[in-house]
Copies of this chain bind each other. A is one copy, B any other.
Amino acid sequence: MKEKKIYDYIIDENMELFVLIKSADVRLAKNGKKFIAFNFSDSSGEISAKFWDASEEDIANFKPGKIILLKGKREVYQNNPQIKIYHIRLVSAEEGLKPEDFVKKAPLSKDDMEKEFNQALFEITNPSWNRVVRFLLHKYHDQFFSFPAAKKNHHAFDGGLAFHTLSMLRLAHTIAKQYADIINAPLLYAGAILHDLGKTIELSGPIATKYTLEGNLIGHIVLVDEEIVKACQQLKIDLASEDMILLRHMILAHHGLLEYGSPVRPHLLEAEVLHQIDELDASIQMLRGTLAHTEPGNFSERIFGMDGRNFYRPQEKVQSDEIIKD
């Protein structure tokens, strides 16, 4: 029985399973008592649950990062999946469970992703770009392959940063081929690999992810830029060369608009393309996550990262049978 995951249970089914506490916000109910707003997770995804009339001891025990045995019922509330809690208890050390087994993971293994990145490095034929990319991928190797791509919204899972980067690299590859007369492929690939690497400094880590002080006061865009500066000093690459100016511009401009935090707008074809495929992959990933929990023939809840729009999941028919399984 313990083998069933959160999203293996159907609505109104009683549940008994181990889950990780991802977040635990203590709030005041309007009757003056405290409750805990939990997010639980296992490898099938995340789900929210409220724990009413929490004692001070409960609050002290049920902290983010802990694994618990959960008894409850799978419900839906205002189109969002949630759990009604019957009982929770902390697992003991002897039960031998590890937090890292209770988070959603990228659909590809780290090894497979790493192989694909290595392949791509060969196509970055400009030696300066190649050396800087290798240097930084090596320096932040572990974080790059375990961090999420964002605190929430898109690719917010273990390995999400690497997976999002890889996904963009695949798009970059296709587009570089389709418009081969005009696109500088090595520049596009180097930019794609580095564009979000600053998130390894901006965010605190793969579990209980928060913004760091650098993240809040400097931001991941400038943080990568600074890493490139340091890499060039160590590798004795001329920072003032056109090559390095172009590469830094790729990273600085990738949010597309000043309002989105880029200190410059794209002024290179490749920087414009990088920005657009970043948006494309992020949009699809957000919708993938949301539509997986939307019933066919219904609209999803409103998605913050898509300007608050809700999306329709068409009724399933034969010709689209293969689609949206998650």
Q: Which residues of the other chain, B, contact A141 by a CB distance below 8 angstroms?
A: none
Chain B: minimal CB distance from A320 (Å): 5
Q: Is A183 positioned at the interface, with any CB of B under 8 Å from its CB?
A: yes
- Cross-chain contact A324 with B233 (CB below 8 angstroms): no
State in angstroms the CA–CA spacing of A263 and B217 once bound together. 10
Mask, A238-253, CB within 8 Å of B = 1, is 0110100110110010
Q: Which residues of the other chain, B, contact A31 by a CB distance below 8 angstroms?
A: 29-31, 33, 52
Mask, A267-301, CB within 8 Å of B = 1, is 11100110011011001100110010000000100
Q: Is A81 positioned at the interface, with any CB of B under 8 Å from its CB?
A: no
Q: Is A216 positioned at the interface, with any CB of B under 8 Å from its CB?
A: yes
Q: Is A199 positioned at the interface, with any CB of B under 8 Å from its CB?
A: no
Name, among A27, A184, A239, the residue most crowded by chain B CB atoms within 10 Å (CB to CB): A184
Chain B: minimal CB distance from A235 (Å): 13
Q: Which residues of the other chain, B, contact A268 by a CB distance below 8 angstroms?
A: 217, 311-312, 314
Q: Is A152 positioned at the interface, with any CB of B under 8 Å from its CB?
A: no
Mask, A169-197, CB within 8 Å of B = 1, is 01100110011111110100000000000
State in angstroms the CA–CA spacing of A240 and B219 once bound together. 13
Q: Is A323 positioned at the interface, with any CB of B under 8 Å from its CB?
A: yes
Q: Which residues of the other chain, B, contact A326 by a CB distance below 8 angstroms?
A: 181
Q: Is A222 positioned at the interface, with any CB of B under 8 Å from its CB?
A: yes
- Cross-chain contact A184 with B314 (CB below 8 angstroms): yes
State in angstroms the CA–CA spacing of A249 and B216 once bound together. 9
Chain B residue nearest to A234 (CB atoms) is: B233
Q: Which residues of the other chain, B, contact A267 by a CB distance below 8 angstroms?
A: 216-217, 299, 309-312
Chain B: minimal CB distance from A153 (Å): 15
Chain B: minimal CB distance from A155 (Å): 14
With known contacts A218-B252, A315-B242, A323-B184, A283–B288 Cβ distance under 8 A: no
Q: What are 19 A-B contacts with C-beta separation under 8 Å?
A: A29-B30, A32-B52, A174-B174, A175-B280, A180-B322, A180-B323, A181-B325, A184-B320, A217-B249, A219-B264, A221-B263, A225-B225, A246-B314, A267-B311, A268-B314, A272-B283, A272-B306, A273-B280, A273-B283
